[in-house]
Structure 1
Amino acid sequence: MLCGHEAQDGLQTIAVCFNEEADLTAQHAQTGTIPTSSTLQSTEPWTLHEDRALPAEPTTRRLAREIYTETKRLPILSMHGHVDARILDEDTPFGDPAELFVIPDHYLVRMIVSQGGSVDQMGAAPVDSARPAAPSPDHREIWRRFCASWKLFRGTPSRYWMEHELVEVFGITQRPSAETADAIYDQLDAALASPEFRPRALFERFDIETLATTDPAWSGLEHHASLAAQGWGERVVPTFRPDPLLELDGTSWPADIARLAQSSGIDVTGYASYLDALRQRRQAFLAAGARATDHGPFLADTTPLSDAEANRIFDLALSGAQVNPAEAQAFSGHMLFQMAAMSVEDGLVMQLHPGVVRNHDKAVLDRFGPNKGYDIPVQVEYTRALRPLLEAFGHHPGFRLIVFTIDETVYSRELAPLAGVYPAMKLGAPWWFLDTPEGMRRFRETATETAGFYNTTGFVDDTRAFASIPARHDLSRRIDAGYLARLVAEHRLDLDEAVETAIDLAYTLPRAAYARR
Structure 2
Amino acid sequence: MSFITDNFLLHNKYAQALYHDYAKQMPIIDYHNHLDPQQLASDHQFENIAQAWLAGDHYKWRAMRTLGIDEKYITGDANDKEKFQKWAEAVPYLVRNPLYHWTHLELQRHFGITELLSADNAKMMYRETSAQLQQKTHSALGLLNQMKVEVVCTTDDPVDDFRHHQKARKDNVRPTILPTFRPDKAYAVEDPISYCNYVAVLMQASGVTIASYADLLSALKKRIAHFHENGCRLADHGPEQLYYFEFNSFDIEKVFKKILSGKSLEIEEIRYFKFETLVHVCREYHKHGWVQQFHLGALRNTNERMLRQLGPDTGFDSIGDFQQGYPLSKFLNLLDSTDQLAKTILYNLNPAQNEVFATMVGNFNDGSVRGKMQYGSGWWYLDQLDGMEKQLNTLSNMGVLSCFVGMLTDSRSLLSFPRHEYFRRLLCNIFGNDIEKGLLPTDIEHIGSIVQDICYNNAKQYFDF
* 1:483 maps onto 2:430 in alignment: yes
Residue in 2 aligned with 1:474? 421
Residue number among 251, 256, 260 corresponding to 2:202 in the alignment: 260
* 1:121 maps onto 2:79 in alignment: no
Residue in 1 aligned with 2:168? 227
Residue in 1 aligned with 2:351? 408
CA contact (8 A) 2:158 2:223 kept: yes
* 1:300 maps onto 2:242 in alignment: yes
4+ residue runs of structure 1 moved beyond 6 angstroms? none
Alpha-carbon offset, residue 508 of structure 1: 1.6
SS of alignment partner, residue 384 of structure 1: helix
* 1:66 maps onto 2:66 in alignment: no
Residue in 2 aligned with 1:328? 270
386-395 or 505-514: bigger deviation? 386-395
Q: Tell me the alpha carbon deviations over residues 300-348 of structure 1, each in whole angstroms, 9 at most, x when there is no partner.
A: 2243532962222112111212212221122112222222211122222
Alpha-carbon offset, residue 233 of structure 1: 8.6
Task: Tell me which amino acid in the other structure corresponds to 2:374.
Answer: K
Alpha carbons of 1:332 and 1:468: their partners in 2 closer, same or farther (altered >3 Å)?
Answer: same
Task: Tell me which amino acid in the other structure corresponds to 2:32.
Answer: H
Residue number among 319, 339, 344 corresponding to 2:281 in the alignment: 339
Alpha carbons of 1:454 and 1:382: their partners in 2 closer, same or farther (altered >3 Å)?
Answer: farther
Q: Tell me the alpha carbon deviations over residues 398-449 of structure 1, each in whole angstroms, 9 at most, x when there is no partner.
A: 621110011111122x111122231142111111100001111111222211
CA contact (8 A) 2:182 2:236 kept: yes
User: What pairs with 1:55-204 in structure 2 (closer than 5 Å)?
Assistant: 55=11, 61-69=12-20, 70-122=22-74, 124-125=75-76, 136-204=77-145
Residue in 2 aligned with 1:317? 259
CA contact (8 A) 2:250 2:269 kept: no
Residue in 2 aligned with 1:363? 305
Gaps of 5+ in 1: 1-44, 56-60, 126-135
Alpha carbons of 1:96 and 1:157: their partners in 2 closer, same or farther (altered >3 Å)?
Answer: same
Give the TM-score normalised by structure 2.
Answer: 0.93
Residue number among 350, 353, 372 corresponding to 2:292 in the alignment: 350
Alpha carbons of 1:285 and 1:140: their partners in 2 closer, same or farther (altered >3 Å)?
Answer: same
Task: Tell me which amino acid in the other structure corresponds to 2:15.
Answer: A
Structure 2 distance, partners of 1:324, 1:429, is 34
Number of equivalences: 454
User: What pairs with 1:239-258 in structure 2 (closer than 5 Å)?
Assistant: 239-250=180-191, 252-258=194-200
Residue number among 6, 9, 19 corresponding to 1:53 in the alignment: 9
Structure 2 distance, partners of 1:260, 1:488, is 54
Structure 2 distance, partners of 1:394, 1:485, is 38
Structure 2 distance, partners of 1:86, 1:316, is 37
Gaps of 5+ in 2: 366-371
CA contact (8 A) 1:233 1:289 kept: no
Task: Tell me which amino acid in the other structure corresponds to 1:270.
Answer: S
SS of alignment partner, residue 23 of structure 2: coil
Structure 2 distance, partners of 1:510, 1:106, is 28
Structure 1 distance, partners of 2:167, 2:382, is 35
Task: Tell me which amino acid in the other structure corresponds to 1:486.
Answer: N
CA contact (8 A) 1:394 1:425 kept: no
Alpha-carbon offset, residue 178 of structure 1: 1.3
Alpha carbons of 1:52 and 1:234: their partners in 2 closer, same or farther (altered >3 Å)?
Answer: closer
Alpha carbons of 1:407 and 1:46: their partners in 2 closer, same or farther (altered >3 Å)?
Answer: closer
Name the Cα RMSD after superposition. Answer: 1.9
* 1:215 maps onto 2:162 in alignment: no
Alpha-carbon offset, residue 152 of structure 1: 2.4
CA contact (8 A) 2:50 2:80 kept: yes
CA contact (8 A) 2:221 2:281 kept: no
CA contact (8 A) 2:2 2:104 kept: no
Alpha carbons of 1:299 and 1:79: their partners in 2 closer, same or farther (altered >3 Å)?
Answer: same
* 1:464 maps onto 2:412 in alignment: yes
Alpha-carbon offset, residue 74 of structure 1: 0.5
Structure 1 distance, partners of 2:433, 2:148, is 29
Structure 2 distance, partners of 1:204, 1:304, is 49
Q: Which has the higher contact order (CA 8 A, sep 6+)?
A: 2
Residue in 2 aligned with 1:291? 233
CA contact (8 A) 2:287 2:340 kept: no
Structure 2 distance, partners of 1:453, 1:53, is 20
Task: Tell me which amino acid in the other structure corresponds to 1:284.
Answer: H
SS of alignment partner, residue 352 of structure 1: strand
Give the TM-score normalised by structure 1.
Answer: 0.84
* 1:430 maps onto 2:378 in alignment: yes
Could you say which structure has the larger radius of gyration? Answer: 1
* 1:503 maps onto 2:452 in alignment: yes
Alpha carbons of 1:224 and 1:478: their partners in 2 closer, same or farther (altered >3 Å)?
Answer: same
